Copies of this chain bind each other. A is one copy, B any other.
Amino acid sequence: MVQIALLGHGTVGSGVVEVLRKNHESITKKAHDDINIKYILDLREFPELPYADKFVKDFSIIENDPEVDVVVECMGGLHPAYDFVKASMLKGKHVVTSNKELVATKGAELLKIAREKNLSFLFEASVGGGIPIIRPLYQCLAANEVYEIAGILNGTTNFILTKMIREQMSFQDALDMAQKLGYAERDPSADVQGDDACRKICILASLVFGKHVYPEQVHTEGITNITLEDVEYADSLDGVIKLLGRVKKLDDGHLSVMVCPAIVGRDGQLASVEDVFNGILVRGDAVGDVVFYGRGAGKLPTASAVVGDVIDCVKRLEYKKYLCWDEGEEGYVKDYRDTSSRFYVRLKASEPQKIMESAKKAFGELRMAHRNNAPEDEIAFATVSEVREGDLEKMVSQWKQEGTQVLGRIRLFDY
């Protein structure tokens, strides 16, 4: 019998209880041991639940109970989750977490403690909800030099963009609908401004390239400025707009890490990831492109990943996981202005011809984009070659000074 303690009985935590109870028999078989939830930490009361007797409000009960082998953290947020997780490990308890903020911010430190104390610290649920991605990356694809990862990592924004693309719904209307359906929070900023995707790409980048990438090192743009006009222009370029988290290893050993809306090819594997689904593309030297697809959030999909980790942890209580990465450092992530991309640009200009000339001079060949009923003073194009981000910014601010309005600017990625 393995005793576990659950921290947090919100959406994910209650899902963990549900999955452990519903599939108890097969889980016991797979874990080769009986898994029992001894405590559930939550400040709220749940007297109506059949397992109401397991609730405690004081973490020290869990911390000081030597019977508890595994602590499952589903509270979210940095504090007190970080403090509880750290304290648990210092008491020799294995930890499973679904908390992306915790791993993206403190992963290197917590993995180091896990290694020193010979414990598992597992977080499959922190990226891609129920989609297996952490374990495939560090086990199945271990033979590869991974070049890059690009993922649709946030279901809320993917739902909004899908509505904009498929039904010509405005950003605001699509957001309203996402909120009504419970896909978006009342304060949707962490989703629509890209912060959620940022934490997830930090975790993937840290895991694959071995050094911690912190959220504040990542240039992050959300989707709040994407308009239906951009959607239509993207279509004329044979693409669709997706919010991507992307990390790429550069030739000089640094990383380019970014969260931004991007135009991806309509026939590519990421374009077909729609609604609240997530999709993560991994490009390796031996395997080529592999894509992982599924529900990136929600009660049961996330609980599926958490409980999968618990089973793995229980199977190997005496056996340490070799998962780890080092602390990060300043300058490890390249300033995005020194990286290059292809770009789509939309402008409102009194002298479009003059703008086109300066654009061609600066960026080389251009591909024109089109939409129905565009005003005469609007032009949109995509660069055929990659442009240094800093050079584009300089050009854009020059155009602005000259009175041209830059209405849209979106990267084109080759997925």
Contact = CB atoms under 8 A, between A and B. Distances in A.
Interface stretch (A55-63, A137-145, A190-198): A137-145
Indicate the member of A132, A143, A301, A310 with the most B CB atoms within 10 Å.
A143
A228 interface: no
A300 B287 contact: yes
A142 B290 contact: no
Interface stretch (A25-33, A41-49, A170-178, A341-349): A25-33
A287 B299 CA distance: 9
Contacts of A289: 294-295
Contacts of A27: 142-143
Contacts of A81: none
A322 B319 CA distance: 13
B308 A130 contact: no
Nearest to A294: B290
Given A287-B301, A291-B293, A135 B139 contact: yes
A311 interface: yes
Contacts of A292: 290-293
A408 interface: no
A27 B20 CA distance: 36
A389 to B, nearest CB: 29
Contacts of A30: 138, 142, 322
B288 A290 contact: no
Contact of A140 (B124, B143, B290): B124
Contacts of A269: 272, 293
Q: How many copies does the complex hold?
A: 2
B290 A23 contact: no
A382 interface: no
Contacts of A365: none
A391 interface: no
A59 B310 CA distance: 42
Indicate the member of A19, A30, A290, A304 with the most B CB atoms within 10 Å.
A290
A312 interface: yes
Contacts of A319: 316, 319
A315 B138 CA distance: 12
Interface in A77-126: 124
A62 to B, nearest CB: 22
Given A23-B285, A293-B269, A132 B141 contact: yes
A307 interface: yes
A136 interface: yes
A308 B139 contact: yes
A298 to B, nearest CB: 8
A286 interface: yes
A369 interface: no
Given A140-B124, A143-B311, A300 B272 contact: no
A305 interface: yes
A310 to B, nearest CB: 8
Contacts of A294: 287-291
A26 B124 CA distance: 23
A269 B294 CA distance: 10
Contacts of A310: 143
Nearest to A138: B30
Interface in A306-353: 306-308, 310-312, 315-316, 319, 322
A231 interface: no
Given A143-B306, A286-B307, 11 more contacts: A20-B143, A132-B132, A132-B136, A132-B140, A132-B141, A140-B308, A142-B307, A143-B308, A272-B272, A286-B300, A292-B293
22 contacts: A19-B143, A19-B286, A30-B142, A30-B322, A124-B140, A131-B290, A132-B132, A132-B136, A139-B308, A140-B305, A140-B308, A142-B307, A143-B303, A143-B310, A144-B304, A285-B300, A286-B303, A286-B304, A287-B301, A291-B291, A292-B293, A316-B319
